[in-house]
Chains A and B, each alone.
Chain A
């Protein structure tokens, strides 16, 4: 049994460890470690395509996660106050946003946006006073929209679970003491749900930062980091990709660990 469990952990971590190890390899070999070097990192970070893809990914992940954190929290708070039927409708839509495969979300968003743009662009051209009307197209906006969908569902799910575990009595006590609803929210509810909101934000950020398939469909001419990595893998496996992969790995590792610590704090505070 013990040997089996150890081999499961080895199975989970050895491949990742190998990629990290060979990102420091001086040579190009994938099976022979010929010496330690950080050359591949220098090469990766000197690559302007890579750096701009990284910038795009950070902008998109930050914007979609921030929007999801704000709107998702609002939705979680609002759904508490909805009637059973409306709440079930929201639950179903959020569940759909999570369960529907990313490849379908990407396609549906692409199809819908292209259809909408084909109406809007000529209309815009007709109405535009100058002679260079703006062209709507795929890019930051479409990726943020599609990532925001999943992320919002994620944040709502996490914050809703936290609200459900909150004691109603403390909220009632606050209003009995003549606190306005806004004051109660600011002083009582918000501090308690803040760790979950932050955890939701970080998970949403991680999801967006790592997503390949949705962005692949709706990115237009923009390149995100996973799209860049995918394209480079297709050109052939090189130690430079190992270096990039290691950087991506550690970025998401940092995010997920922070999220977990925030969520655990929530769990221990609520006494679970």
Chain B
């Protein structure tokens, strides 16, 4: 009887997870295996893939060094820039803001993250483009200002696109902060500044870590922002991948780059987790 019930229970469990398991296997695990196989193959003469076992694609990686350097430089730089803007904002929302308006203010920060990144990036293309700010500057006599297609424009787009994702985890960690600790610190004669650096900042570090890690990881695979605001001059790994797959059709080389990108993401993730572990217990991120 008990055995029969256990069998039935197991069958129900299996039936519940089966569709998702199949989906994960067919559309995540298998594609990764395929990509790995392609990365060791050769480019067919007419483009695409030809079976082989060679490390030539990986040996070729230095030819795309610029894309890697741009990404590895601008992704963390963008994340840190986000942090500089995000921390005071999150602090204000969690500690200073009127509780009555807090929910609305927080919503106003989250909502842009869930609206089309393409449209939000386009907005800056529109503003920085020749008919936007440079046009206005020309009216007051400052001619030939170029803003679009510069590293600065890409960084601006990054901060704009990912600011909400940086603010949220920091806000969550600051909101959970026990107010009594701050009062205790003040009662013991600490100045507000030393309370901040001695109590608030260390306790919000997990949120900071989550935010920096999340934004950096997402930026490593970014395509739209460098494409639209960097205009082919400031390109990321994502741009190299689109070029290799959809234009020059060198699939094995593209796969090798994609595999390398995943390896970089994994390394960044592991470093972040190691640091987060040391700083405090990891904390879940509330994206919505």
Query: Which residues in A have some Cβ–Cβ distance to B below 8 Å?
Result: 1, 4-5, 8-9, 11-13, 15-16, 18-19, 22, 29-31, 70-72, 74-75, 77-79, 81-82, 90, 93-94, 96-97, 99-105, 107-115, 145-146, 148-149, 152, 156, 158, 161, 199, 203, 206, 210, 212-213, 216-217, 226, 229-230, 233, 237, 241-242, 245, 248-249, 252-253, 255-257, 259-260, 263-264
Looking at chain A's contact residues, the main secondary structure is helix
Q: Which residues 144-167 of B have a CB within 8 angstroms of A?
A: 160, 163-164
Q: Please tell me if the beta carbons of B125 and A108 are within 8 angstroms of each other in the complex.
A: no
With A100-B221, A101-B222, A102-B221 known, 16 other A-B pairs at CB within 8 A are A30-B135, A71-B19, A78-B17, A81-B16, A104-B258, A108-B31, A108-B32, A108-B258, A115-B38, A203-B288, A212-B117, A217-B245, A229-B119, A237-B125, A249-B115, A260-B110
User: Which residue of chain A lies nearest to B85 when distances are taken between CB atoms in the complex?
Assistant: A8
B280 at the interface (CB under 8 A from A): no
Task: List, sorted by A's number, 21 A–B pairs whose CB atoms are closer than 8 Å.
Answer: A5-B92, A19-B123, A22-B126, A31-B135, A78-B16, A78-B17, A81-B9, A81-B16, A103-B223, A104-B221, A111-B255, A112-B31, A115-B38, A158-B288, A226-B116, A226-B118, A237-B125, A237-B131, A245-B123, A249-B116, A257-B111
Most central of B29, B116, B217 by chain A CB within 10 Å: B116
Given A111-B38, A152-B23, A242-B126, A252 and B114 touching (CB < 8 A)?
yes
Query: Which residues of the other chain, A, contact B23 by a CB distance below 8 angstroms?
Result: 71, 145, 148-149, 152
Given A12-B108, A111-B251, A213-B238, A256 and B28 touching (CB < 8 A)?
no
B20 at the interface (CB under 8 A from A): yes
CA distance A8 to B24 in the complex (A): 39
Q: Count residues on chain B whose CB falls below 8 Å from chain A CBs.
A: 82
Q: Please tell me if the beta carbons of A19 and B115 are within 8 angstroms of each other in the complex.
A: no
Which of A1, A110, A152, A248 meets B119, CB within 8 Å? A248
CA distance A101 to B163 in the complex (A): 18
Q: Please tell me if the beta carbons of A253 and B123 are within 8 angstroms of each other in the complex.
A: no
Q: Please tell me if the beta carbons of B19 and A241 are within 8 angstroms of each other in the complex.
A: no
B247 at the interface (CB under 8 A from A): no
Q: Please tell me if the beta carbons of B20 and A75 are within 8 angstroms of each other in the complex.
A: yes
Min CB distance, A139 to chain B, in Å? 15
How many residue pairs link A and B with beta carbons under 8 A? The number is 236
User: Which residue of chain B lies nearest to A144 when distances are taken between CB atoms in the complex?
Assistant: B27
Query: Which residues of the other chain, B, contact A216 by a CB distance below 8 angstroms?
Result: 242, 246
Query: Which residues in B have some Cβ–Cβ distance to A below 8 Å?
Result: 9, 12-17, 19-21, 23-24, 26-35, 38, 48-49, 85, 88-89, 92, 96, 103, 107-112, 114-120, 122-127, 129, 131-132, 135-136, 160, 163-164, 217-218, 220-224, 228, 237-238, 241-242, 245-246, 251, 254-255, 258, 261-262, 265, 269, 284, 288
Instruction: Return the 6 tightest CB-CB contacts between A and B, nearest first.
Output: A101-B221, A78-B16, A108-B31, A75-B20, A15-B123, A78-B17
Q: Please tell me if the beta carbons of B27 and A145 are within 8 angstroms of each other in the complex.
A: yes
Which of A18, A103, A113 meets B127, CB within 8 Å? A18
Query: Which residues of the other chain, B, contact A108 by a CB distance below 8 angstroms?
Result: 28, 31-32, 34-35, 258
Q: Please tell me if the beta carbons of B30 and A112 are within 8 angstroms of each other in the complex.
A: yes
Q: Please tell me if the beta carbons of B34 and A112 are within 8 angstroms of each other in the complex.
A: yes
Q: Please tell me if the beta carbons of B131 and A149 are within 8 angstroms of each other in the complex.
A: no
User: Which residue of chain A lies nearest to B269 when distances are taken between CB atoms in the complex?
Assistant: A99
Query: Which residues of the other chain, A, contact B217 by a CB distance below 8 angstroms?
Result: 99, 101
Query: Which residues of the other chain, A, contact B107 by a CB distance below 8 angstroms?
Result: 260
Q: Please tell me if the beta carbons of B20 and A81 are within 8 angstroms of each other in the complex.
A: no
Min CB distance, A249 to chain B, in Å? 6
Q: Please tell me if the beta carbons of B117 and A210 are within 8 angstroms of each other in the complex.
A: yes
Min CB distance, B264 to chain A, in Å? 10
Query: Which residues of the other chain, B, contact A82 by a CB distance below 8 angstroms?
Result: 13, 17
Q: Please tell me if the beta carbons of B122 and A103 are within 8 angstroms of each other in the complex.
A: no
Query: Which residues of the other chain, A, contact B16 by a CB distance below 8 angstroms?
Result: 74-75, 77-78, 81
Q: Please tell me if the beta carbons of A156 and B20 are within 8 angstroms of each other in the complex.
A: yes
Which of A18, A103, A113, A152 meets B241, CB within 8 Å? A103
